[in-house]
Amino acid sequence: MDFVLEGDDRPIHILNAVSPDLTCALSFADYVCDQIDVKINGHQRL
């Protein structure tokens, strides 16, 4: 993917998101939520 997720258990920043269509996609939102879960809880959502 062409973007980077940075942050810790508080702020999460999405860098290099080149298209508004990408950030509006449900599959992208699902991926971001999984990554947040990993950073906060140490595992992905089921």
User: What integer pLDDT is reported at residue 38 of this predicted model?
Assistant: 85
Q: Where are the alpha helices (DSSP H) in the chain?
A: 20-24, 26-41
In this prediction, residue 46 carries a pLDDT of 66
pLDDT in tens, 1-46: 577 888 876 788 888 877 777 777 888 888 888 888 888 888 766 6
The length of the chain, given as a count of residues: 46
pLDDT, residue 1, reads: 58
**Residue 12 maps to a domain:** yes
20 in any annotated domain? yes
The confidence score (pLDDT) of residue 31 equals 87
Domain residues for 14?
4-41
CA triple 13-17-23, angle to 5 deg:
85
**How many domains are contained in the chain?**
1
Residue at 46 is within a domain: no
